């Protein structure tokens, strides 16, 4: 029985809760308690959690770029500028991208499917298999990342990834965010907004940005999480499931 | 305690080294504008920080990247947050800029460091 005023209040609370992460509230403001669990981690991540995502391709609207823009801002990708003198077309192909739009067309029926693709956070990640230094690794909670302190920029992982999920930083980056360090000569890819998760938040920027609710994120090992419930309720697929990588990102309505 | 007194003495000595360099211009850190300027001690006693800060940061980086531990007193973001000064207009000055906290010592000791090839040099968003 939610009245409109109730809804308004809820929206306000939602926005206010989101704001606590960006603004220091005045002392004594009650909204602090809303973010009670939003404390930075002090204990190691465990395999009791596996982060994953379900993307409903029927809800992903052609021409919409909201999730990509949100990702770019959250992870500072919009601060990476084209190196001086670089070719436009080359830059377009090589600039760092954590989320890509993919359009599938069934040649028989002509049906077109729009989907967004990022690192699929494979359980058996080929990028980790091929990495000569141990920089590519999988965290206990299933997030596949690059430890850029160790990465030598050989780009083996880029070749090995079946999903073209990884980007290479070709030139010095002038401005970086504290939450998203980045430098020349390393490889990077979607990390499920790991800084948010480690600071107690439970959503990714892309999920928050999608007005069409095409992205559901959560803990695959928690049967009550929205993502687990959605996976249980609807048929879903892994892209290139023939590779048997057991991806953490799944798709419906392909 | 004599330890504490000698730290204060040292701090005064060290800071007096950098006083009197003239008034700060835009982009130049103003004396006393870093959070650290208002504190008596770092996250560990000053002599320990001097000798071992890089070990702390390196150890913490592995814990953060691989285990997701963020709420630690040995985080590089914490160093930057506390030691970055502001210029006359209130804008934070990069900690590795000439004459700023990280730069002065590293320059003096001729030790190159790579943290800021990737990490932010001014206090973070969040
Ligand atoms: S999608 Fe690519 S980058 Fe991500 S875990 Fe799988 S192989 Fe690695
Ligand atoms: S580019 Fe870095 S993360 Fe990728 S395989 Fe080489 S060392 Fe490993």
Pairwise CA distance, residues A185 & B114, whole Å: 13
Pairwise CA distance, residues B72 & B55, whole Å: 14
Q: Closest residue of A to B63, CA-based?
A: A44
Answer yes or no: do B68 and A178 touch at CB < 8 A: no
- Name all domains of chain A by residue range, CATH numbers in brackets: 2-252 (3.30.70.20)
Residues A148-203 have pLDDT tens digits of 999 999 999 999 999 999 999 999 999 999 999 999 999 999 999 999 999 999 99
Nearest CA to ligand 1 atom 2: A161
Three-class secondary structure of residue A44 per DSSP: coil
Place of tokens 């480690």: A198
CA of A133 to the centre of ligand 2 (A): 7
- Give the lowest-confidence range in A12-26, A199-213, B68-82: A12-26
Q: Which of A43, A147, A172 sits opposite B66 (nearest CB)?
A: A147
CB B72 within 8 A of CB B64: yes
Residue with the larger pLDDT of the pair A6 and A196: A196
A185 φψ region: left (φ > 0), alpha (ψ -120 to 50), beta (else): left
B57 touches chain A (CB under 8 A): no
- Which residues of chain B are under the pLDDT cut of 70? 1-26, 125-126
Answer yes or no: do B125 and A179 touch at CB < 8 A: yes
Residues A233-246 have pLDDT tens digits of 999 999 999 999 99
Nearest in space to B73 (alpha carbons), one of B84, B59, B86, B85: B59
Which residue, among B65, B79, B84, B116, would best test binding to A if mutated, counting the most A CBs under 10 Å from its CB?
B65
CB atoms within 10 A of CB A104: 12
The DSSP annotation for A12-31 comes to HHHHHHHHTTTSPPPTT-GG
Length of chain B: 126
By CB atoms closer than 10 A (0-12, 13-18, 19+), residue A119 is buried
The finding on whether A169 has its CB within 6 A of some atom of ligand 2 is no
- Considering chain A, what is the average pLDDT of its residues? 88
The finding on whether A153 has its CB within 6 A of some atom of ligand 2 is yes
- What is the maximum span of chain A, computed from C-alpha positions, in angstroms? 63
Whether this model's ipTM surpasses 0.95 comes out as no
CB A218 within 8 A of CB A232: no
- Residue B91 is given by DSSP the state P
The closest ligand to the CA of A186 turns out to be: 2
Residues A108-136 have pLDDT tens digits of 999 999 999 999 999 999 999 999 999 99
Dig out the tokens for A8 from the structure.
């308004």
Q: How many residue pairs bridge chain A and chain B with CB atoms within 8 Å of each other?
A: 69
Which residue, among A41, A51, A197, would best test binding to B if mutated, counting the most B CBs under 10 Å from its CB?
A41
The finding on whether A118 has its CB within 6 A of some atom of ligand 1 is no
């Amino acid at each position: 029985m939610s009245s409109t005023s109730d809804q308004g209040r809820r929206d306000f609370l939602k926005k206010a809760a989101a704001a606590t992460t960006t603004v220091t509230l005045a002392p004594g403001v009650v909204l602090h308690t809303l973010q009670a669990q939003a404390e930075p981690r002090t204990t190691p991540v465990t395999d009791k959690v596996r982060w994953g995502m379900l993307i409903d391709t029927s809800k992903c609207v052609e021409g919409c770029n909201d999730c990509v823009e949100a990702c770019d801002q959250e992870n500072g990708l919009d601060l990476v500028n084209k190196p001086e003198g670089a070719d436009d077309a080359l830059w377009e192909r090589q600039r760092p991208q954590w989320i890509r739009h993919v359009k599938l067309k069934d040649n028989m029926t002509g049906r077109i499917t729009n989907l967004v693709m990022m690192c699929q956070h494979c359980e058996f990640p080929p990028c980790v298999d091929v990495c000569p230094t141990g920089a590519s690794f999988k965290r206990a909670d299933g997030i596949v990342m690059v430890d850029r302190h160790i990465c030598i920029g050989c780009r083996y992982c880029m070749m090995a990834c079946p999903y073209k999920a990884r980007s290479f930083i070709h030139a010095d980056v002038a401005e970086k965010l504290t939450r998203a360090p980045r430098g020349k000569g390393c490889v990077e890819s979607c990390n499920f907004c790991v800084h948010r998760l480690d600071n107690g938040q439970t959503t990714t920027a892309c999920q928050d940005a999608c007005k069409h609710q095409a992205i559901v994120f959560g803990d695959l090992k928690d049967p009550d999480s929205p993502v687990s419930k959605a996976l249980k309720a609807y048929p879903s697929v892994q892209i290139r499931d023939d590779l048997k990588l057991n991806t953490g990102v799944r798709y419906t309505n392909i | 305690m004599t330890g504490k007194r000698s730290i204060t003495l040292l701090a005064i000595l060290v800071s007096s080294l950098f006083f009197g360099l003239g008034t700060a211009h835009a982009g130049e850190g103003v004396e006393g504008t870093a959070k650290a300027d208002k504190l008596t001690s770092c996250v560990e006693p000053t002599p320990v920080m001097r000798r071992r800060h890089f070990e702390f940061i390196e150890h913490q980086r592995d814990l953060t990247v691989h285990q997701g531990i963020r709420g630690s007193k040995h985080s590089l973001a914490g160093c930057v947050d506390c030691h970055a000064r502001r210029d006359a207009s209130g804008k934070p000055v990069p900690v590795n800029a000439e004459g700023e906290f990280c730069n002065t010592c590293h320059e003096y000791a001729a030790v190159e460091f790579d943290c800021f090839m990737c990490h932010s040099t001014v206090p973070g968003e969040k």
